[in-house]
Amino acid sequence: MSETLQQILSSFEVQTDPKEPDKPKETLETRFAKERIEWTGKIKDMSDRMKDIFKVSELMVDIYTERQRAVEYYHYLISIFKKVSRAYTKEWSEKYQHYSFKSQVRFPNERTKELQILSEMSDIVEKREEIENHAKFINNTIGTIDNLIYGIKYKVEIEQISRGK
């Protein structure tokens, strides 16, 4: 079980350059923060390009491409989230069984037992929350891109009205 869990957890770790072994691995939180900045920059760029009506045709090509990339990335994150959730559920079940029936430690109530289990599973809980949070961000990014696509139509109509058509 722990071998499978280690494979899943290590698959999220960003590998550093093998030429520089002194550098620590980039954390999942840092990686996701960089990706959020990158996606925010893309959205800002697309919004800025919408100002010029002559760049809208290029924007339309790019916007659909970026939307598809975001959708694929979102589904990739969800598939990883499912794997981590399965590992989380399995580990939770094992620890719950252990503390309920095999351990000599007795807890005054269920909540303290749950807190003990969560504290022991802090690594997987943190990864699960990071992935879930990032997936929500990407999903909202897709919504923003959809709003830009929706706005292109009205931008073209406004330009036509301003030119007297």
pLDDT tens for 38-79 read 999 999 999 998 888 888 888 888 999 999 999 999 999 999
Q: What are residue 14's DSSP bridge partners?
A: 26
- Residue 14 phi, psi dihedral angles, 5° rounding: -85, 125
pTM higher than 0.85: no
Examine residue 58 and state whether it is found in any structural domain, yes or no.
Answer: yes
In a domain, 59, yes or no: yes
Whether the CB-CB separation of 135 and 77 falls below 8 Å is answered with yes
Q: Which domain holds residue 94?
A: 30-162
First to last CA, the chain: 68
User: What secondary structure letter does DSSP report for 55?
Assistant: G
31: β partners: none
Distance CA 138, CA 71 (A): 8
Structural domain contains residue 105: yes
Summary mean pLDDT of the chain? 86
Number of domains in the chain: 1
In angstroms, rounded to a whole number, what is the distance separating the alpha carbons of residues 83 and 61?
34
